[in-house]
Amino acid sequence: MMDACRQNSNTAAKDSAGSQRYPDYDIEEENMLKGKTIVLGVTGSIAAYKIAGLASRLVKLHADVHVIMTENATNFIHPTTFESLTGNKCMVDTFDRNFQFHIAHVSLAARASVLLVAPASANIIAKLAHGIADDMLSTTALAMTCPVIVAPAMNVNMYHNPAVQDNLKKLEQYGKMIVPPEHGYLACGATGDGKMPSVEVLLEYILREIAYEKDLKGKKILVTAGPTREALDPVRFLSNHSTGKMGYAIARQAMLRGADVTLISGPVSLAPPPFVKVVSVISAADLFREVCVHYEDQDMMIKAAAVADYTPLETAEDKMKKRDGELNIALKRTQDILAWLGEHKKAGQVLCGFSMETKDMLENSKKKLEAKKADLIAANSLKEAGAGFGTDTNHLVLIGKDEIIDLPMLSKEEAAGKLLDVLLKIWEERHC
């Protein structure tokens, strides 16, 4: 059975962390960074103007944002801009008398949650790699014990210079995170690597590092999401109204909490969650094949995809032409993936299924929990406003073997977090 599942697994998989395509989540109203101190180090590059937008986004997430600029950076953007956005004095001069009584670089380094150096010039990269501390930014960075993220931005030939590449490798060896620059048109007129990524990309690096406690670190989580499409002919298919939002929210929340996440996704219009391995599929058969390939070494499996229960018995090679009278289409059952996982799950694995109902939600979901040998069923009603397909909110009822947890109406990101809390509890009880 497993050999058959593994054959012809040709669906493309990729780590979206390097793709530079990030989801446009509405995170502005969340308190994800409340109580966090974020230091932004800005160096002399035309890309410095982008950091004003990043500072604004971080403040909206309730972070305490401090900006340190090199002297050269002030030629591209004025410190007053950052002071207006953050409410904190922008630091440039190591010997600024306004800070000398509490040794600013030491005190700020001690309470920083993360340091992002962006844009990072070749000069600051060299200083950080070799422990040189001759200005406010390099001095503060050297005193940092928190995570440090470096986003290079420079001319393409400078970026690919062996000395710069060696310095970046050295920083990685020291545990610093490097944000790969984008390929594109540069301010110098050249085209190539060296363009600083967007504010959204930089924000995701910060969120991954400090948004949540890493209580899922070391755990591997498999999530399925979205609809499947069952082809009638080269033009038409059978599908459903699933948008994949719930599954994508689960994958992103698990990633932010430190998990190694694989997302098997049907066709959706959502950008892939960052830092998640995404496997794209079309049909129920495709999805089943990829689940077979990936499930064995997972700690948790969350089947949020809306998989077709039936598929055409035959798929026409050519477009079916319209005819007079009715058309009957013969259908056959697809593989019940949740039931298959329940039969084949390994010792210690936690299995969660979803149940979208229009009536008798609790009764049907309890039956599903038992029949599929799942550990948890996340149920919701299509008839409840705000809890159906395509919404940004959901009302989940989490049905386990010993308890039922009725969550309030939440954003799908918040609901995903609550679901992961329960699954983590089940996993810990199983492994205590």
* pLDDT tens string 16-34: 444 344 444 444 446 789 9
* Confidence (pLDDT) at 299: 98
Compute CA distances 326 → 291, 315, 316, 322, 323, whole Å: 37, 18, 17, 10, 8
Residues 284-297 have a mean pLDDT of: 97
Q: Is the pLDDT of residue 8 over 60?
A: no
The catalytic position among 146, 188, 352, 432 is 188
Q: How confident is the model at residue 412 (pLDDT cuts 50, 70, 90)?
A: very high
Q: Is the pLDDT of residue 314 over 50?
A: yes
* Confidence (pLDDT) at 48: 94
Q: How confident is the model at residue 107 (pLDDT cuts 50, 70, 90)?
A: confident
Residues 103-122 have a mean pLDDT of: 88
Domain boundaries, the chain: 2-16+213-431, 33-210
Q: Is the pLDDT of residue 138 over 50?
A: yes
* Confidence (pLDDT) at 184: 85
Helix (H, G, I), strand (E, B) or coil at 391: coil
The chain-wide mean pLDDT, for the chain, equals 90
Class of domain 33-210: alpha beta
Q: What is d(CA 101, CA 84) in angstroms, rounded to the nearest whole number? A: 24
Please give the residue that has the higher pLDDT: either 363 or 382.
Answer: 363
Q: What is d(CA 411, CA 250) in angstroms, rounded to the nearest whole number? A: 11
Q: What is d(CA 200, CA 41) in angstroms, rounded to the nearest whole number? A: 17
Instruction: Pick one of 3.40.50.970, 2.60.40.10, 3.40.50.10300, 3.10.20.30 as the CATH number of 2-16+213-431.
Output: 3.40.50.10300
Q: Is the pLDDT of residue 85 over 80?
A: yes
pTM more than 0.85:
yes
Q: Is the pLDDT of residue 89 over 50?
A: yes
Intrachain domains 2-16+213-431 and 33-210 with the same fold: yes
* Confidence (pLDDT) at 105: 59
Residue 326 CB burial class (10 angstroms; 0-12, 13-18, ≥19): exposed
* Confidence (pLDDT) at 12: 39
Please give the residue that has the higher pLDDT: either 186 or 76.
Answer: 76
For residue 311 the two structure tokens come to: 């598929």
* Confidence (pLDDT) at 192: 85
* Confidence (pLDDT) at 103: 54
How are beta strands 300-303 and 310-312 bridged, if at all? unpaired
Residues 189-202 have a mean pLDDT of: 90
Q: Which residue has the tokens 């084949």?
A: 344
* Confidence (pLDDT) at 382: 86
- Contact indicator for 55, 33 with CB cutoff of 8 Å: no
Task: Please indicate whether residue 188 is annotated as part of the active site.
Answer: yes
* Per-residue buried b or exposed e for 262-293, using 16+ beta carbons within 10 Å of the residue's own CB: bbbbbbbebbbbbbbbbbbbbbbbbbbbbbbb
* pLDDT tens string 228-272: 999 999 999 999 999 999 999 999 999 999 999 999 999 999 999
Residues 30-58 have a mean pLDDT of: 93
Which range among 93-102, 277-286, 353-362 shows the weakest confidence by mean pLDDT? 93-102
Residue 92: Cβ within 10 Å count: 18
Residues 60-87 have a mean pLDDT of: 96
Residues 359-364 have a mean pLDDT of: 92
* Confidence (pLDDT) at 106: 76
